Amino acid sequence: MLTKRQNMVETMKGGKPDRFVKGYEALALVYTPFLTTGPRVVKGGEPVKNRWGVTIAYPDNAPGPFPVHDGDHIVIKDIEHWKDYVTPPSVIFSDEEWAPVVEQVSQIDRNEYFVAPFVAPGIFEQCHYLLEITNCLTAFYTNPDEMHEIIDMIADWEVQYAEQICKYIKPDALFHHDDWGSQISSFISPAMFEEFILPAYKKVYGYYKAHGVEIIVHHSDSYGENLVPFMIDMGMDVWQGVMSTNDIPGLVKKYGGQLTFMGGIDNGKVDREDSSPEVIHEEVFKYCRECGTKYFIPCTTMGDPLSIYPGVYEAVMAEIDKASAEMFK
């Protein structure tokens, strides 16, 4: 029997996996001092201001934390003078602050798991965290020079962050968040994505790949099939969060071998108060049967191995086991 890591590798390269990869099972997610020290928002708690100056809230019924964007809390109030509002936070932490992370990583069996630091928010999200989403999307048209400057600043900061991550934990995978669309459309056009976002990610993901990272798993729980060629170009290996509003079987057929698709099981369909075993079974088996056993990892679309409602993620994983029993004989 293959290890979880070996089975994921076989799935990604179109080799001989012996079962479906069960969601995140091959990824040992690691949280850096940048995320575990300093201001932290608690689910259901009061909003907090993070190191970028963005006020973050985490309502009880939300899948994750979100920025607060009323008039008093938007960080960049005048994009033409954005440098007056933003100071990139330091990524330098002491050996003592890194020590618990280094110890955690030392206990991970790298034959069984990929050591995968968790990085969020990503470059596009950091833009709209600072600007507010409508202001951000408008600025791609009205202030392209300033948007290029802001994106370059964030990408340079991410490379500095990557230097520290690679120095201390020598990861062999990366789990990086950045939502690029709604359920039905990318937030910006492919041409605009190619101009603004692609170069930044080629710089960041290129650094990780040049420093020992074997696979890059990128989370975007959205529509994004119009961006897949750019995902491949920037160095992504796995698109996690691919929603059912994308033609996942068609994507697997067209791009399998260049990109692996991890998702298909929308949290909006299964991670609900009125969810049922029957619905979870139907959603899991639908995509396992339609997408096949290579270049596809069945998973919920949420950006971590959790669910809003208790037991849902575990129920999905149990159904994937049943699908493996049917399709791997």
What is d(CA 175, CA 165) in angstroms, rounded to the nearest whole number?
12
Does residue 329 have a pLDDT over 80? no
**What confidence score (pLDDT) does residue 227 get?**
98
What is d(CA 78, CA 203) in angstroms, rounded to the nearest whole number?
27
Q: What is the dihedral of CA 231, 223, 225, 308, to 10 degrees?
A: 60
Domain 31-242 classification at class level: alpha beta
**What confidence score (pLDDT) does residue 279 get?**
96
State the residue for tokens 């330098």. 92
Positions of CATH 3.20.20.210 in the chain: 31-242
Amino acid in the structure at residue 114:
F
**What confidence score (pLDDT) does residue 91 get?**
97
How confident is the prediction for the chain on average, in pLDDT?
96
Phi, psi of 153, deg, nearest 5: -60, -45
Question: Can you tell me the mean pLDDT for 129-158?
Answer: 98
What is d(CA 199, CA 180) in angstroms, rounded to the nearest whole number?
15
Question: Can you tell me the mean pLDDT for 149-155?
Answer: 98
Residue-wise pLDDT tens digits, 256-298: 999 999 999 999 999 999 999 999 999 999 999 999 999 999 9
Question: Can you tell me the mean pLDDT for 195-214?
Answer: 98
pLDDT band at 40 (very low <50, low <70, confident <90, very high): confident
Neighbours of 85 (CB within 10 A): 15
Helices 95-106 and 144-169 sit at what angle, rounded to 10 degrees?
Answer: 70
pTM recorded for the entire structure: 0.97
Beta bridge pairs of residue 186: 181
